[in-house]
Amino acid sequence: MKPKIDKEKCIGCGTCASLCGEVFELKDGHAQVIAKDDTVIEKNKDEIKQAVEACPVQAISLE
């Protein structure tokens, strides 16, 4: 599982970063994925799913 941000859709609300700051970060008005390896992703998988559900514009997908 790897989260991906659709920058065209992202409105930079910051919800994902506040739910899961180890994986998402706001930069230049858009979210980006900062998690470098699978361990961080695995550790935060519940928070990542919360962020997917909480994103107001469905900009986060899981691959």
Least distance CB 42 / ligand SF4 (angstroms): 20
- Does residue 34 bind ligand SF4 (CB under 6 A)? no
Please name which of 55, 29, 56, 12 lies closest in space to residue 3, comparing C-alpha atoms: 55
Judged by CB under 6 A, does residue 10 bind ligand SF4? yes
How would you label 5-42 residue by residue, b for 16+ Cβ within 10 Å and e otherwise? beeeebeeeebbbebbeebbbbeeebbebebeeeebbe
Shortest reach from residue 8's CB to ligand SF4, in Å: 11
41 binds ligand SF4 (CB under 6 A): no
Residues within the interface to ligand SF4 (CB under 6 A): 5, 10-16, 31, 55-57, 59-60
